[in-house]
């Protein structure tokens, strides 16, 4: 499994008042097995059920607030 780390600063507030990250299919591939993990204060990760949507060649991850974490995906 591969992963991409992200930080709170990577999130952008969208028109729906949700914070979102944007990835391209070129970055993470077409696989449907995406897992979002949020980094806790002690440095461990916990899985969260974020809203994930796709449009054309873009993948959007939406959450109510920005957080540090990682996206896990298949190669």
From 16, 22, 9, select the one nearest 53 (Cα to Cα): 22
In a domain, 75, yes or no: no
Q: Is the pLDDT of residue 32 over 70?
A: no
Do you know the residue count of the chain? Answer: 75
Mean pLDDT along residues 22-27: 90
Q: Map tokens 């780390």 to a residue.
A: 5
| pTM score | 0.85
Instruction: Say which residue, 53 or 11, is predicted with more confidence.
Output: 11
Domain range for 19 is: 2-70
**Mean pLDDT rounded to a whole number for the chain:** 91
Direct distance between the N- and C-terminal alpha carbons of the chain, in angstroms, rounded to an integer: 6
pLDDT of residue 36: 95
pLDDT of residue 29: 78
In a domain, 38, yes or no: yes
> Which tokens belong to 24?
């391209």
- Asked if residue 1 lies in contact with residue 68, where contact means CB atoms within 8 angstroms, the answer is no
In a domain, 6, yes or no: yes
Structural domain count of the chain? 1
């Amino acid at each position: 499994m591969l992963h991409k780390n992200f930080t709170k600063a990577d999130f952008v507030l969208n028109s729906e008042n949700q914070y979102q990250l944007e990835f391209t299919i070129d970055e993470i591939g077409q696989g449907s097995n995406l897992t979002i993990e949020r980094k806790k204060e002690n440095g461990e990760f916990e899985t969260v059920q974020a809203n994930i949507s796709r449009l054309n060649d873009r993948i959007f991850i939406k959450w109510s607030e920005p957080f540090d974490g990682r996206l896990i995906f298949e190669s």
